[in-house]
Amino acid sequence: MDMKISDYIVRSVAGKNYLVYTGPCLERYIKPVVISDVGAMICERLIRGMGINRIVDELHNYYAVDREVLLNDIKDFTDQLIGFDISVSKGADFI
């Protein structure tokens, strides 16, 4: 089953960040995904429907990291989410 990123919330418990499924009730348990602090920042923005380029801009301003590096890292991260059957709206500004 393909679950949308908008069906998730980010929660922090005991110093760890989790991506927790809150979508329609399923017949099987969906295990929360442990994510990093930066992963949590990315997910919170994806859940709100923010485009990738805007996320890159915000993280660039926050961490002062090269935009191309950020774009590649976010692409790798969203590919990992897709590996967990979490569909990520790629939006018009995703390359």
Q: 4-60 pLDDT, tens per residue?
A: 999 999 999 999 999 999 988 777 888 999 999 999 999 999 999 999 999 999 999
Look at residue 78 and tell me if it is in a domain.
yes
- Work out whether strand 3-4 and strand 86-87 pair parallel, antiparallel, or are unpaired: parallel
Look at residue 35 and tell me if it is in a domain.
yes
Q: What is the pTM of this model?
A: 0.86
Look at residue 43 and tell me if it is in a domain.
yes
Where in the sequence is the domain holding 38, given as residue range(s)? 3-87
Supply the pLDDT for residue 1: 60
Give the span between the Cα atoms of 59 and 72, in whole angstroms. Answer: 13
How many residues are present in the chain? 95
Look at residue 95 and tell me if it is in a domain.
no
Number of domains in the chain: 1
Look at residue 93 and tell me if it is in a domain.
no
Give the span between the Cα atoms of 81 and 73, in whole angstroms. Answer: 12
| Residue 65, token pair as written in the block | 């990291």
| Residue 58, token pair as written in the block | 């915000």
| Residue 24, token pair as written in the block | 């329609």
Q: Are 54 and 67 in contact (CB under 8 A)?
A: no
